[in-house]
Structure 1
């Protein structure tokens, strides 16, 4: 926000900072400050750079030097506020941000950043020591913060950060309608925004009636846009795990068909069929079971997106519970084949095999729905 163009060294430092090469930018700024220790712009950039590099104490020192040289420079005040917050002094950050708003009333970022922090500051300064914030007080603090963020939106309607601030405030206020509205506003301006994309995709994937394959496709499409999003990857892993649970269900149904074929359990007064089961009936078992696997597993797999297929193999390598579920499905299917294809003369052993195939799944179903690792 300087009135003149920055020194070429500062422009190069800005470019390095944008590329994430903070150490190089820091070294360049150090040389510039050695040439001209009175360059407030260099100190401002150095404060930003060392804070991003994980050096909070150095950031605070640099911001103080910048303020000493230019006490009414909005960017110096902003960097000082950021440095204070990074050093655990968020309460002290309110004053420089208020000064930014006074000096630059049309500068949206001062309103947005103060709105982002103000409800936390109020909670710390207006709550008795050892006490808790009442819901009524918190609602007032959040409203005050949201008014500042809304001012930032009016001043810069195309900037993303004010909407992020309003999103966090709405989330704290448990206003789901406002959260969804802010997510949509963010995605209109930045379709690749990782957090907003993850939230939007999760809402769609967890809606009632959405099947596992559909959820996996939604997450895979979103990951194609934001491939570094851990939240989206976790969602895809969970949807893939749901697919594997579906495979296990098919195996359990196959086990049930085998038990039915041998009349392992009959109603009182009903005579069970004679054993051993004829060969033709043993072979007929593969007709309904084969159709079940063809439609429920093979056809579904062929319809999966390439990314979902890849993740299916990947999640089996990376995660323990998907391997457990697949192992349970294989074991249940093996038991089903033993029951249906061996010419049993008695029902005692097939009953044992049936329970041996079913119990591992029954033992884990109550709690494995939440497992992805």
Structure 2
């Protein structure tokens, strides 16, 4: 049975929510001096000790006082389990949480919390019994039992996010990707701004086969609008933005190849190479395909990007070294392409040197800079 809270205890609870633990403890100490029989005050005192200091010993003392007054108080039992864990007595929490379920068989939280901890308890016990090695069958059995408890928690609390979070963790540990994905959707149905579930769903969509960099960046930008402080999604947006910048380098290399063809650096055997220097009209005409490449491949695509993606591109270049390196390689390749086509060369030796000078730095790093967003 759960007793009512005194107004002073309610104020202390609010102070704990605000992480003003010292003030809460002072207020609770005064309240308990007035009435040491108030169960709720002892429970909140235990909670305050678990807040900033993670002092499991003091929290245990408080919950033991509460349980001495009411052994079947659900809040005291749950807090006692948390205090045991903080005090390094994690294995003892199973019995306490089973008592919670016995006292309140129709309440979801006891099932969810036991499911969240049970598979870990089983793994610890298996490791201790087998020289530090967790037996696979013990782990699987623990996950199955925990999964049943999580399903019961969801049945009793179909709108409680924590129950689904626990079920997702168990499905993920079991390697059941289908169930984990379905649980993510259930979490987002209840809480559309749930950071972890949103990050996981966005990553699945962004990394699916055939998804281009611009699509991936848009997915992450849209998700960040709902959870702007999500570090995983910011990393995902940075990676997608970096892929876009690497695409710019490919455009520069294509222009370099067009420049080589325009000057005739790759004349086949037996084929008469173009006479140098090229006429001014031909040199200007060689700029046309390059302009088309950049207009269609970069400018048009850039204009179609979401505003958030465009902002992140600039931010990524300022924050990270490799994006600047990639853009520098693209700019160098384009400079070489322009020199090859626009200078009236009389021999092919210098244009050939320029071609290889523009190509080699980019090609030399392509094989290992794919993942370097840092």
TM-score, normalised to structure 1, is 0.94
Give the drift of 1:196: 0.2
Question: Equivalences for 1:33-182 in 2 at 5 Å?
Answer: 33-57=32-56, 58-127=58-127, 128-182=129-183
1:47/1:355 Cα in 2 relative to 1: closer, same or farther (>3 Å)?
farther
Deviations 1:319-347 (A, max 9, x none): 22212211111111111112121122222
Question: Equivalences for 1:202-241 in 2 at 5 Å?
Answer: 202-241=203-242
**Partner of 1:126: helix, strand, or coil?**
helix
Is the Cα contact below 8 Å between 2:5 and 2:41 reproduced in 1?
A: no
Give distance in 2, aligned partners of 1:107 and 1:84.
Answer: 22
Structure 1 stretch displaced more, 118-127 or 107-116: 118-127
Give distance in 2, aligned partners of 1:30 and 1:372.
Answer: 52
**Which residue does the alignment assign to 1:25?**
24
Give distance in 1, aligned partners of 2:47 and 2:62.
Answer: 9
Deviations 1:244-276 (A, max 9, x none): 111111111111111111222232222221222
Give the drift of 1:76: 1.2
Give the drift of 1:131: 4.1
Structure 1 stretch displaced more, 229-238 or 128-137: 128-137
**Which residue does the alignment assign to 2:304?**
303
Give the drift of 1:17: 3.4
Count of residue pairs brought into register by the alignment: 372
**Partner of 1:72: helix, strand, or coil?**
coil
- C-alpha RMSD of the superposition: 1.8
Give the drift of 1:22: 4.2
Is the Cα contact below 8 Å between 1:202 and 1:235 reproduced in 2?
A: yes
**Partner of 1:94: helix, strand, or coil?**
helix
Give the drift of 1:312: 1.2
Give distance in 2, aligned partners of 1:61 and 1:252.
Answer: 70
Unaligned runs of 5+ in 2: none
Give distance in 1, aligned partners of 2:321 and 2:287.
Answer: 31
Give distance in 2, aligned partners of 1:350 and 1:49.
Answer: 74
Give the drift of 1:36: 3.1
Give distance in 1, aligned partners of 2:60 and 2:334.
Answer: 65
Give distance in 2, aligned partners of 1:351 and 1:44.
Answer: 80
Give distance in 1, aligned partners of 2:22 and 2:218.
Answer: 40
Structure 1 stretch displaced more, 18-27 or 155-164: 18-27
Is the Cα contact below 8 Å between 1:23 and 1:53 reproduced in 2?
A: no
1:130/1:340 Cα in 2 relative to 1: closer, same or farther (>3 Å)?
farther
Is the Cα contact below 8 Å between 2:146 and 2:170 reproduced in 1?
A: yes
TM-score, normalised to structure 2, is 0.94
Give distance in 2, aligned partners of 1:107 and 1:91.
Answer: 22
Give the drift of 1:21: 4.3
